[in-house]
Amino acid sequence: MLKKHEFDLLNLFLTDKTSARLSQRGLAARLSRSVGAVSGDLAALLARGEIQSGQNGYEVTAAGAAAMEPYRVDNAVIMAAGMSKRFAPLSYEKPKGLLRVKGDILIEREIEQLQAAGIGDITLVVGYMKEKFFYLEEKYGVSIRVNEDYYKYNNTSTLMCVPDLLKNTYICSSDNYFPENVFERYVWHAYYSAVYADGETNEYCLSCAPSGRIRRVTVGGRDSWYMLGHVYFDRAFSGKFREILEREYPLPETKEMLWEDLYARHVKELDMEIRRYPDGSIFEFDSLDELRLFDPAYLNNADSRIMENICRVLCCEEKDIEEIKAIKAGLTNTSFSFRVGENKYVYRHPGAGTENYIDRKSEAFSMKVAARLGLDDTFLYMDEKEGWKISRFIEDVRELDYHNREQVATALSMMKKLHAENVRSDFDFLIWNKTEEFIERLKETGKLEIRDFDELYALMKTVKDAVTSDEYAALCLCHCDCYSPNFILDKTGKIYLIDWEYSGNDDPASDVGTFVCCSDYTFEEALNVIRVYLGREAEKKELGHYLGYIALASYYWYVWALYQEYRGNAVGDYLYLWYKNSKFYAKKSLECYEEEKNEK
């Protein structure tokens, strides 16, 4: 086992041939040690036969090479599975690792730097737009593994794809840019690269012992060294980390973690040092604005159709598009805000797979109707084929409060205004038909193993038959997603009805049903919503009709939520809420129909 200073000396001889001719004073300067200490290390290495003195200076012998073998880097894993949602809009079109920065594609530059350091065994773990990385296998001789859970879990799922590869291993991110090659053929100890932050930072900050061992990791800090860039696992670290990862990964909270969070939880067990780098050694771009500062070529040519779309609609140049900021992604779309001149806008990008259940032509038709009726005048432009949309940005927006009587009354009047217009679209929604479509998709997955599913389906089918055959059944253009987040208020209190993706011809009671089923209303509050919407008390059978559509809306969104959960989009408490409301309002509806029948 080599001592650290002996390793440094041997490593210098192996990786820098010019060092062999240096004097002891020159070696001391190169290694930042005293001449006496270097002299002692040379004497020890010569005595053990690990170096020898020859005509060309010091040479590493076979014994020296063998002594360095435990420190040889075995391989590298490049994590390239994530979606990089914050890097809007470029990450909507290609993985961040495939961006070209100062002439080089990020992941290609990283592969080439690893190979230049003598590391030939490189594995890419891909997920999002995985097919765009496949060419690298032939071009560079790398291996590829696919993380099928990339959209469900955090990057712990990426390391779970390669536990067998964790040895003396570099763990890299595909989107880092290193001006100079940071990789080495031999590494003494496990480390995490770090750079210094002056002032406040929200990054993962490191507290270390004088030896450099990382003692604690905290999210956020001040005047601190923080994690950035590549990581090196040595065999001792890999063995312990792999054991922890495989033991704790089945826990839901672990799957949601970054692997760094798992490391921080077990930092006392996992021996890792800090590797400090000067400013300008490692770059990671969290936004297009940051990338533009580093590579001015992105000011006018981001090689992005999204940017081209914005320029065409708003008659601007790419450099005019500023302050791009990702908006928290919804379950069906991703969006970002941006500024052009004095005005702010929102670009909505359709989510992958939404073309299977959202008709963008129908949405575009409905948006034009909504603008004409004054229900949503934020709408500027929508591409009917591709589904992208540009709208005005509303400052200080807040969503409707289900328990604010004035706001609820306004929202219900907006719904009734749409229904009273009696517009007929070329596109149907028909909530029961859409429910059946999702059920078929769920059956195709083989995951529909719910004990009372058939029983609930039979109950809902009875309700559907009742509400579609009574005299209150009608069809006209409906929003079909009328719940509080889609009724937004600006700072003046004006309400907009947004997000018309699901719109189409349906029974107006379906909109009322969705409004209620997504709330925390009591039964009495639900009855009041129906009363306010109608402007009067409902007749018994009419009440059964509206209650039935609360049940059908609940059931539709319950089945929709099951499908979303299967695809890895967590729905949260809504899933149980919709399940309960399906049963409750179905029974209340059928009671009304039965009472009306008995009264005759």
To the nearest whole percent, how much of the chain has pLDDT over 70?
A: 98
Q: Is 215 left (phi over 0), alpha (psi -120 to 50) or beta?
A: alpha
Question: 4-71 adopts what CATH topology?
Answer: Arc Repressor Mutant, subunit A (1.10.10)
| Average pLDDT value for residue range 451-468 | 95
Query: For residue 179, what pLDDT band results from cuts at 50, 70 and 90?
Result: very high
Q: What is the pLDDT of residues 121-134, one digit of tens each?
A: 999 999 999 999 99
Q: What is the pLDDT of residues 486-541, one digit of tens each?
A: 999 999 999 999 989 889 999 999 999 999 999 999 999 999 999 999 999 999 99
The answer to whether residues 214 and 272 touch, using CB atoms and an 8 Å cutoff, is: yes
| Average pLDDT value for residue range 29-50 | 92
Query: For residue 112, what pLDDT band results from cuts at 50, 70 and 90?
Result: very high
| Average pLDDT value for residue range 404-428 | 96
Least confident of 291-295, 370-374, 491-495: 291-295
Cβ contacts of residue 371 below 8 Å, gap of 6+?
377, 379
Top-tier CATH class for 304-393: alpha beta
Domain(s) labelled CATH 3.90.550.10 in the chain stretch across 75-284
Least confident of 19-23, 190-194, 463-467: 19-23
Can you give the pLDDT at residue 489? Answer: 95
The answer to whether residues 324 and 336 touch, using CB atoms and an 8 Å cutoff, is: yes
Least confident of 23-32, 74-83, 460-469: 23-32
Superfamily of domain 75-284: Spore Coat Polysaccharide Biosynthesis Protein SpsA; Chain A (3.90.550.10)
| pLDDT > 70? residue 352 | no
Can you give the pLDDT at residue 583? Answer: 97
| pLDDT > 90? residue 176 | yes
Can you give the pLDDT at residue 158? Answer: 95
Count the neighbouring beta carbons within 10 Å of the beta carbon of residue 172. Answer: 27
Radius of gyration of the chain, Cα coordinates, nearest whole angstrom: 31
Q: H-helix or E-strand containing 192?
A: strand 191-208
Report the C-alpha gap between 363 and 481 in whole angstroms: 12
Query: For residue 89, what pLDDT band results from cuts at 50, 70 and 90?
Result: confident
Query: For residue 300, what pLDDT band results from cuts at 50, 70 and 90?
Result: confident
Count the neighbouring beta carbons within 10 Å of the beta carbon of residue 74. Answer: 16
Domain(s) labelled CATH 3.30.200.20 in the chain stretch across 304-393
Top-tier CATH class for 396-599: alpha beta
Domain(s) labelled CATH 3.90.1200.10 in the chain stretch across 396-599
- What does pLDDT average to over the chain? 92
Can you give the pLDDT at residue 351? Answer: 67
| Average pLDDT value for residue range 65-82 | 96
> In angstroms, how far is CA 19 from the centroid of its own chain?
47
* Proportion of the chain in helix, strand, coil states, percent, rounded to 5: 45, 20, 35
Can you give the pLDDT at residue 546? Answer: 98
